[in-house]
Structure 1
Amino acid sequence: MTYEVQPGPPGGGSGPAPAGEWRRRGTVSLWVPVMLLAFLQVAGSGAAGRHQSVRVALDGPGYLLLLAGPALLLLRRRAPVPVAAGTAVVTLLYVVLGYPYGPVFAALVVAFFSAVAAGHRKGVLIVAAGAFAAHALVGLWLYRWLPPSGDTRASWTEVSGAAAWLAAVLAAAELFRVRRERIARERRERAEAERRRADEERLRIAQELHDVLAHSISLINVQAGVALALIDERPEQARTALTTIKAASKEALGEVRQVLGALRTPGSQAPRAPAPGLDRLPELVEQATAAGLRAEVAVEGERAALPPGADLAAFRIVQEALTNVVRHSGSRTARVRLSYRPGLFQVQVDDDGPAAARGETGGGNGLVGMRERAAALGGTVETGPRPDGGFRVRARIPLGGRSASGTSGTPAGNTTPHPAGPAAEEHS
């Protein structure tokens, strides 16, 4: 199992903040910037007006316009485009009435940034184009009828400067939006990667537990049946079966404890016993013999050490295949063939059948687990009845990055089950 810790509120904390705390934070983040911006516009424009003799001195309506822009920003989250349009009108009216230049454009910049960041680029462009057209119209043709009387006709250089300033604001807003979306996308991708890693870890642990428990419990089940059948007539044989049950259960508990111990000890320093591999194949044969199954092992090619992942997968595949023979086959003989080839390892387990009616059939995860183990290494698993009867499990595991089939045309990770009917589903 995997334990996941739900993320807390932004800024840390051990748990989610109460609803009242979130509302308070939202109110502070909305009002404080607006109040600071209003103070900046009023104080900055008042100070700048002392050095602009040709402009109209600030009065009540002028201060009202300076406060109107920041006040509109309180609605920027609900209606970003209307707030941008309203702020543009207020700012343009302030300039047209001849009040001193200064940080009056700060509210307009914030409004444009908020609207673009919210994804309303087209609406902001329309508002910006309208505001620039009105500014150019007033500066080039209507200046005679508007205060201040000392103002003169605006030059094309000034109009172009205003256009460049507006374009720079829009470009910066777009860059801000792109960066914000990229950060959000990367955050989502990291969260998705974490979920995938957690799912893969759960699957790996589920496979390990299934392979360990299915094999051991199947052996225990068979030996328990033997003990029950012989406890009265042949108590010594029943004692041997019970001894086998004890050994199998002890081994299963040890392996389960190893898997769970790795979960409970986080970090790379977690104590881990060596993962099982084909060096423990004699133990599997001995356990199969105790369950009444004779396992014959043959090796083709020169035996060589396998990579840890391939070694574990091969061991689990043989273990699961022998477990299936014990549970689902009437044959008391299984043949295990290990083939070592350049760049490829193959393991094959055969039994002569027929399928046994005892025990549970269907609904297991053994065959699926085999295929997933092999596919994770770029290999394949074929399972199904043999033409002459019995059942066959054949796994191909590439070594050194070659495909399982030995050809470049077979995609890594593809599983090609042997043509089989319902008999294949009886093995789990």
Structure 2
Amino acid sequence: MSASPPLPLPLLKRIPPGLWTALAWYAAAVEPIVEYVVMPPRPSYSLNYPQDGLESLGAQALLAVAFVLVLAGSAVLRRRTSGAYGLVIVGTVISTVAWRQDEIPPTQFLAVDFALCYIAATRPRRNSLTAAAAALGTLAGYLVLRLITGDDSSIAQEPFVALTVVIAWLIGNSVHQARAHTEELYARAAAQAVTAERLRIAREMHDTVAHSIGIIALQAGAAARVVETQPARAREAMLTVEKAGRETLSGLRRMLGALRQADQNQEGTGQDHGLAQASLQPAAGLADVERLAATATAAGVRVEVCWQGRHRPLPADVDLAAFRIVQESVTNAVRHSGADSCLVRVEYRADELAVEVSDRGKGGGTTTDTGYGLIGMRERAALLRGDFTAGPRPGGGFLVAVRLPIPAMTEAEEKARAI
């Protein structure tokens, strides 16, 4: 099943935290410059922003330094969080020195609150508490400085600004806890899915493998009892034992393959393609190649299937392995080759099955995020004592070739598989 595309984030969440910090700080810093310096003088005045506050070159230089520090801190807030946060605070303090202020205006401190909220949301609690303490300590420093100088002409704004610091930390900490809880839920759901898969396979083993072993034991015992008196029945019983044994072995291989694929899918990026996620059904085999080709063609890569030789029933393990190799090769061609077409050649020979998958893409054979990749295909061929080769073609493109030996089957087995 192909993964649905992720939903786009809301616009507010797509804006980087550094940009929020810079916008808040620069808006608060530019507004008084426009109102009290650029605009013509008015009868009204501000105690925080005197009209002659930026007349000296030193004050202008300090304010420029503050602008640069805050800009640098906002730009590296995600990569250098602690250092960037410190630059924002220092830039805020320098801006008050440039204006000869004895307190930080609340609007100017909102940028520090934005940065603190981001730290509390993304960093460990010890780091966020340290950042909050730095902000509160800066505010306390201004309050103590005014008390020492005896300047108590106005209502202290530091307690109200400190309240915004606490609120910003609480919001960021709540986001941090929500993310941690979500990750824990995802991890728990993944563990439960693994457990459920193990239980499903255990039930399948009980229903198929255990049942087959029981049949093998009964038929072998019956053959042992009548081998002297009824050789024909004994031979028939042993053929049944052989057939059940082959089917059981094939079932075990499929189950182990399903376990391995489930583990690799959990380690992948989650961007699964429909071709690589075909379910490991017991009936999967070369009969599904045409459906696979149609799926790949719908995905944008035309797949041509060429059958050669006398089409005949195959052992279940050979049939499944051949199909999985074709499936993985076509998936690689669709996802990595960049080719617009792919050729699948299946040849039934006297004692082996030859499969080739070729394309004329860029020839970069890689393992896919899901499925087994080249290593898995080579292992499948090795389990069946086959030969596997894969690599770039001399004329361009990529070629996967495998030869799987076909064990000789009795006429009764061929008829049974054909049914």
Structure number, greater radius of gyration: 1
* Global fold match (TM > 0.5): no
Choose between structure 1 and 2 for higher RCO, CA contacts under 8 A separated by at least 6 residues: 2
Query: TM-score, normalization: structure 1?
Result: 0.43
Query: TM-score, normalization: structure 2?
Result: 0.44
